[in-house]
Structure 1
Amino acid sequence: MRQILLFLPFLFLACKSPDTNLNISSKDFRELKVLDSEYLDRDQIFGDLLDDVVRFRGSDNLKSLILEKSIPEIQEAIASGQFSYRDLTLFYLKRIYKYDRENTKSLNSVIAINPNALKQADAADQDLAYVKRNEEHLAYYSIKGMPILLKDNINTEDMPTTAGAAVLLENRTSQNAIIVTHLRQEGAVILGKANLSEWAYFFCGDCPSGYSAVGGQTLNPYGRRTMDTGGSSSGSGVSVAANFAVAAVGTETSGSILSPASQNSVVGYKPSTGTFSGSGIVPISSYLDTAGPMTKNVMDNAILTQALGASYEVIEKYGANTFETAGLKGVRFGVWTSFKENPLYTQALLDIESSGAILIELDDTRPQLNGFLKLLNADMKKDLPVYFAAQSHAKFRGWDVAKVMEWNKRDSLKSMPYGQSLFKGIIEEPAISDEEFLKFKKDMTAKAEEYFYNLMEKHDLNGFVSINNYTAGVAAAAFFPAMTVSMGYNDQGQPFGLTFIAPNREDKLLFDWAAAYEKMTKHRVMPQDYKD
């Protein structure tokens, strides 16, 4: 049932990257129009699994073995017989049932539960010898049997793919997205779908991050009605932070993994563009879109990265010693002077410097990507009909942005309470030839690359250190990968992320840098209200 939020004093932070100039406004919590979904209720989400979840009584005994534990720790506990993959899956389902909707702690982070989740867990249990027979315990570093949530713009055969939009409630697809096929081949349990900023935050413009018509308003577990969730992979970040799954998969065009990862104190990895297949993912821009893992720690992020089917070797074969030698000694980072106004960033730089890294201060002149909105408009105008034509349910064949806008007008209070101004901008974007548009994209990428590579050459840099998603727009345009990891909490308990940026196709550096910083600082703390 819909609830109205009134007289809440905290202002939403802008969740699109400042570099992109998208002019998406922040929202005061007093202006929020919707809290809970008009389309879902808790029991409906669980469907045929409801009885199994309600009857499950093992949660209290499993808390110490599962909450905040890494994939290797969980795999080792299962291999030693302390619990099963089915128990693990039920543990997370019970937490979602307890916390996510229709109560005073609800987060609205999960939009659907996979009806086949327990069957997939049972299949993993039947092959438990896979773990036990490996004397070197490398199987502990496997995604097999691990419950994973997917952002609800990623196609799955088992559930509709809505992108948070009411119009797509019946968008049942006949094939998994390619990254989901890889996950299933590796034995992952697809637990369900995570809420998101509707249409990956490229729909309403003047709306809060984390809102979708289908899923309602996602809320931050560190400050349920006082802190922004980040967007657009809001539900993915929140669900990992609250321990509703081992890990989640998000998507990013510019900042949509880095922002919610930072806002929810989890590790978010935006890979070099093209690392993972985008087939079967509702698009904004085929030029910039990418999926990426969101996890509680760097090791889990590396394991999930391997399971998503990278197009090249992002990291070497992992095991117990994967990040043992990871360090920052001698690494030369560019850091932006203005960001030092944040005391957490200043302390993070001191920590990095104390570990032997060399920091070079950069001025705050960054390229203004004034054509970024034009790029997204023109790409989505072209790419969304392509998705509808081949990767959606058959009923959407021939649909485009204009058809979606027309459908939304049937019941605007339910389907678009904040309007659909960004979709309107897509329709109004002037036509451009394919040749001109390709040149426009390449020129923008060249401008962003030139900015980074000139700094790297001038100062002999290995990479850059930023905050949250503050430099995500330039990194996206340059195809540079980025990873954010918790750098602590301010006096109000709000999380912030330290974001490492590396050159294109040098993603492995991010894992080494983030792992070294994580090991040194261990900042992540589970949200207090969700420890029970």
Structure 2
Amino acid sequence: MRKLIYIFISLLIFSSCKKEKEEQQEGIQSKVVWESYDEIEDLESTKKLDQERMHLKLVNSKVLDKNDIWRPLESELDYFSAEDYNKLKKFVLEKDIPAIQQSVKKGELSYEELVKFYIYRIRKYESDNSLSLNAVISLNPKVVEQARVLDKVDKNTIDVNSVFGMPILLKDNIGTEYMKTTAGAVALQDNKTGDAFIAKRLLEQDALILGKANLSEWAYFLCIGCPVGYSAIGGQTLNPYGRMVFESGGSSSGSGVAVAANFCIAAVGTETSGSILSPSSQNSVVGLKPTIGLLSRSGIVPISSTLDTPGPMTKSVIDNAILLNAMIGKDPEDATSVYTETDFIISIKDSIIEGKRFGVIKSLLQDSVYARAIDKIKNAGGEIVEVEPEQTSLPGFLSILNIDMKNDLPNYINLYASDNVNIKTIEDVIAFNLQDTLVRIPYGQGIFEGIVKDSTTPEDLEKIKEDLKVTARKYFDSQIDKHNLDVVLSINNYHAGYAAVAKYPALTVPMGYTNKGEPKGLTFIGKPFSEAKLLQLGLWYESISKERKIPVNYN
């Protein structure tokens, strides 16, 4: 009798184990694999475009196997199905940070689910050669377990206007501990760094660093006339509103594209002259280029210690303020870094639009999208003042970038790069790239060669910097002061060079689309440390225009 009972129990256990194993196998999702393809047809189609800079030589990287992007997290998606993904869409797609935080508080969404949603979405689109955007270079292998830790926190204590648990992509020139920092260049392919100051600030507030975004290699300071959004590591970033038709903008290309395509809640880019404003405008997202010094540059691969700054890139102005708030802080390692007590979230909600004066550049009114935006502002109560700032050149601008890069890159390598990075100077990078030009520099390295040839002396450089600052500030101030303006309104990155050397902040907000569907941004430019005012006015304009639309094939 005992023997029969033993056999019966054994059969029960075996049957139970078998059923559990079968259920597990059914739960595991089939692996999604990216496969390379013949790019000739796609490349030939770009040769027909009027924009010569869009005549592409390749789409995908010859260095990075895209499967390696999500491979470290593949097992985390074993039990995250298409059904799970679709169920969460209504809580995530196009939602701002406060809305997502509210969903977490209500128990509709967890931080772990939010992270898995984005990883699943990145893999879904980036593995499909008809839809891939090459927006992401790497994912944080620790991000899911970090999210699980945050899910243990009492949700009632979480501020909805915070980055707590929010998955954020960083441009791949910003240092992070768990991912390499490449600036898109093969020369830095194995560069293992610590966290940049702004990455530390985000982590201190329990943001989740989801991964690293593609970029124009060396922040678009390598080749002459080459496509924006291209890097040897990440391949060609593509615009979701017009894949292989519209430019992605540069150099924070991946950051802009990833936010536009809902691959993350928000991203961080960097700008020297237009590198946040351009991709934000081109991808219908909100981008802020702050005053130099408001955000630290420590741990970021540089172009120019004079003009470089990181900045937030988001789908909404409120998210921009939240992300900016999270990154501010005085950094003792950055000589330009300043302390501020401004709470940008509070300040933008205190906005009073009555009496605000908008400087409208007359020549830009020929642009129908800009003209419509101005009409909306006028009809909603904004005071419009047409201005005609005197067009002036900015002689010597390139020399600021050349000489700064010549000095700042070796300084970065000495302070932040890992010991396995063998290049020390611009000359070293040039020599390294010449060892395999087809893979490392298919568009050449004309700008790097120009850096070496630039013989501007330190004394001449200081004079150029000061002269250009005076010239650019006069360009804006002659109108701001004369007409008592709160802001000057531009398009995209049209006046980014002036804002750069003047060291003035600029905010771009989705303004609409051309007849062909290409996005444009309305760009607000103000005096130093006027970010609160720019965000106030940007939030107001966003509320009356509501121009951002999700890309059609990425909904």
Shorter-chain TM band: over 0.9
1:401-427 per-position Cα deviation (integer Å, ceiling 9, x unaligned): 110010011110000000000000000
Q: 1:366 offset after TM fit, Å? A: 2.3
Q: Is 2:407 the counterpart of 1:369?
A: no
Deviation at 1:41, TM superposition (A): 2.1
Show the counterpart of 2:273. Answer: 254
SS of the residue corresponding to residue 45 of structure 2 reads: coil
Deviations 1:396-449 (A, max 9, x none): 36611110010011110000000000000000001413x432232122112211
**For residues 173-184 of structure 1, what are the structure 2 equivalents within 5 Å?**
173=193, 175-184=194-203
Q: CA deviation at 1:339?
A: 1.0
SS in 2 for 1:221: coil
* 1:445 paired residue number: 469
Higher relative contact order (CA 8 A, sep 6+): 1
Cα shift at 1:354: 1.6
2:123 counterpart residue number: 97
TM-score for both structures, normalised by structure 2: 0.89
With normalisation by structure 1, the TM-score equals 0.92
Report matched runs for 1:26-425 at 5 Å: 26-27=52-53, 29=54, 31-57=55-81, 58-127=84-153, 129=154, 131-133=155-157, 139-173=159-193, 175-310=194-329, 311-313=338-340, 315-316=342-343, 318=345, 323-363=348-388, 365-396=390-421, 399-425=424-450
Q: Find the partner of 1:3 among 39, 51, 61.
A: 39
The 3 A distance-change label for structure 1 pair 406 and 502 is: same
Question: Which deviates further from its counterpart, 34-43 or 60-69?
Answer: 34-43
The answer for the alignment partner of 2:498 in structure 1 is 474
Distance 2:400 2:344 in 1: 37
- TM-aligned CA deviation for residue 123 of structure 1: 1.8
Moved more, 49-58 or 61-70: 49-58
Quote the Cα distance in structure 2 between the aligned partners of 1:110 and 1:63: 20
Q: Structure 1 residues 323 and 377, CA, compared in 2 at 3 Å: closer, same or farther?
A: closer
Identity across the alignment (%): 46
Instruction: Report the Cα distance in structure 2 between the residues aligned to 1:326 and 1:520, rounded to whole angstroms.
Output: 14
Note the residue ranges of structure 2 that are not aligned, 5 or more in a row.
Answer: 1-35, 330-337
Q: What is the 5 A alignment of 1:8-23?
A: 8=46, 9-12=48-51
Alignment-mate amino acid for residue 160 of structure 2: Y
Letter in 2 for 1:523: E
Contact 2:328 2:340 in 1 (8 A): no
CA RMSD of aligned residues (A): 1.6
- Structure 1, unmatched stretches of 5+, are 13-25
Q: What is the identity, as a one-letter code, of the residue corresponding to 2:227?
A: P
Q: In structure 1, give the amino acid aligned to 2:279.
A: P
Q: Verify the 8 A CA contact 1:160 1:170 in the aligned structure 2.
A: yes
Which has the higher mean CA deviation after the structures are superposed, 322-331 or 176-185? 322-331
AA in 1 matched with 2:101: Q
How far residue 515 of structure 1 moved from its aligned partner, in angstroms, is: 0.1
2:61 partner SS: coil
Distance 1:233 1:355, change over 3 A: same
Q: Deviations over 1:341-399 (max 9, x none)?
A: 11110011111112222222222532211211111111101101100111111233661
Contact 1:54/1:94 (<8 A) preserved:
no
- Counterpart AA for 1:516: W
**Distance (whole Å) between structure 1 residues aligned to residue 127 and residue 496 of structure 2:** 32
In structure 1, C-alpha distance between the alignment counterparts of 2:127 and 2:453, rounded to whole Å = 38
Measure how far apart 1:323 and its partner are. 4.4
| Separation in structure 1 between the aligned mates of residue 244 and residue 168 of structure 2, nearest angstrom | 26
In 1, Cα distance between the equivalents of 2:391 and 2:351? 30
Amino acid at match of 2:173: N
Q: 1:54 offset after TM fit, Å?
A: 4.8
Taking the aligned partners of 1:241 and 1:422, their CA distance within structure 2 comes to: 30
Matches of 1:398 and 1:409 in 2, distance apart? 13
Q: Tell me what 1:20 maps to.
A: none
Distance 1:213 1:54, change over 3 A: farther
Is this contact kept in 2: 1:327–1:516, CA < 8 A?
no
1:315 deviates by 4.4
Amino acid at match of 2:467: D
Partner secondary structure for residue 528 of structure 2? coil
Residue 517 (structure 2) aligns with: 493
Measured in 2, the distance between the counterparts of 1:226 and 1:347 equals 24
Give 1:21's aligned residue: none
Output one character per residue of 1:465-492: Cα deviation in whole Å (capped at 9) or x when no partner: 0000001100111111000000111111
Distance in 2 (alpha carbons) for counterparts of 1:436 and 1:291? 27
Structure 1 residue 457, shift from structure 2 partner: 1.9
Q: In the alignment, is residue 432 of structure 1 matched against residue 474 of structure 2?
A: no
Q: CA deviation at 1:273?
A: 0.8
Higher-Rg member (1/2): 2
CA distance in 1, matches of 2:164, 2:258: 20
